[in-house]
Homo-oligomer: A and B are copies of this chain.
């Protein structure tokens, strides 16, 4: 039976026909793998997602985590699902064999993760956070800390979190006030409050490893004085045995619109609740060097941002498949081409086809974009050419805000259309799609809001190293355009359209920065982000169009038709945004606060 979580056919297309992930097995890092092991990972992910994650997705929403003042209560299926994930070796999917990982390409790990997000993003969240935490430790922490924490995380015994935000600082991390007092023994004692901590407290597993941003007194002001600390919920002895409770106290949990399965907490560090003698602070261990914490955290954050895009894509995808199932089986209304034939399934109505096509281009496009980025990560990690490695890094820098924001915006829209296809049923909790929509609404907010992504793209990424990142993407877009021009009349027509939009975008980018005034350039950074994103997706769709090659079955025909839809219905939407940007519009900037 075809899954209503994701399309394995499409995944195979993206991974093998387009991204040629099997070629990675020629690299030393992935030499132990083969197309067979990759397929096994995909098979297993689908099976585990279907068996352990999907069945309690609704219950994890309806009976969301609760806090009785002492403990967090989470339905038992969550821990069971997490355990299944750990047993399958998927928490450390991309980590080195030596650290207990499966040393898989990131592309495969993301494809695997998509199954779990589609099935139950609330439960899957615990695994993703733990993976991100383990990856950061392996990259930046002291080997002794890696040995102590990473193994138990990969085994599913310890969970991981990331603790950045504070109530008074929000997106502005330079304003955090959590402080870390150095101790004689080289450890630190942390004092402060952290907000929006997913998985911040619960009774699953044996321990929770918090990665906490804090300031060491006397350090530089702003973001340059931020350090990163490991703060475990329970202290761990040298032999790995669980010791005393650390002074990290749960102050409350947030009640969200969706994504309810992942408990979201307010944590107090060092308030004295667990240190009977008074507020002696929460014990913390420095990661890497003092004051370099933000760069380490951004290692995790960039991974998290692509992960947000993947989660949004997966929710959009499963919503699309469920809407499609509904549309194929729900009889309603009549069409002229079947006179006297009675009711037809609603998939026959043109406006329903339009809503399904839109979902198809949003969901498949978003998934393709994220897997493309993951493929770049693998290339970057395994290339032996240092210059090429640097160039891949620049390209990834540029694409990360798109990979985070575009799926978050458009796969939410896909979920809205999935509801619309279901009519009133889609608005009820009896069907899945209303939850996907609520879950997906988080994605434009967390791990850097939509607005922050716009500032990052226009204010930092396109101008970094005098436009070097943009030149990397430019080279790739031009290569695709050239390939398409040689691939037949229709491909050439799409290529011309992309080429025109892309060049206009480059021109407009130059015009925005021509005056050298950041406030003018950034006045419409969100418009820039959205315009840029849609043009990038046109490129991704042209790439997919080309990858269909000479395939003439329904799958390939559908893929090509979806590309046509994107170029006719979606890409032209960027025209007004480009003109608005080119005009250096200051309407929003000129609005006086008293005029509201």
Contact = CB atoms under 8 A, between A and B. Distances in A.
Contacts of A353: 588-589, 591, 593
A367 B195 CA distance: 37
A389 interface: no
A257 B573 contact: no
Contacts of A455: 351
B348 A592 contact: no
Given A351-B525, A420-B449, A438-B257, A558 B595 contact: yes
Interface string A74-99: 00000000000000000000000000
Contact of A561 (B324, B444, B590): B590
A526 B449 contact: no
A343 interface: yes
A354 interface: yes
A291 interface: no
A170 interface: yes
A446 interface: yes
What is the oligomeric copy number? 2
Interface string A189-213: 0000001100000000000000000
Nearest to A253: B428
Contacts of A585: 568-569
A451 B356 CA distance: 13
Given A256-B428, A561-B587, A356 B596 contact: yes
Contacts of A419: 441, 445
Interface of A: 165, 168-172, 175, 195-196, 254-258, 324, 328, 330-334, 336-337, 343, 347-357, 360, 416, 419-420, 423-424, 426-430, 434, 437-438, 441-442, 444-446, 449-451, 454-455, 518-519, 522-527, 554-555, 557-558, 561, 564-565, 568-569, 572-573, 575-576, 579-580, 583, 585, 587-596
Given A257-B434, A353-B589, A360-B596, 16 more contacts: A172-B333, A195-B424, A257-B438, A350-B519, A351-B451, A419-B445, A420-B444, A423-B445, A424-B445, A427-B445, A555-B595, A557-B595, A561-B595, A568-B580, A572-B580, A575-B575
15 contacts: A168-B331, A257-B428, A336-B519, A337-B519, A347-B593, A350-B522, A351-B455, A351-B525, A354-B524, A356-B596, A423-B449, A424-B446, A426-B445, A558-B592, A568-B583
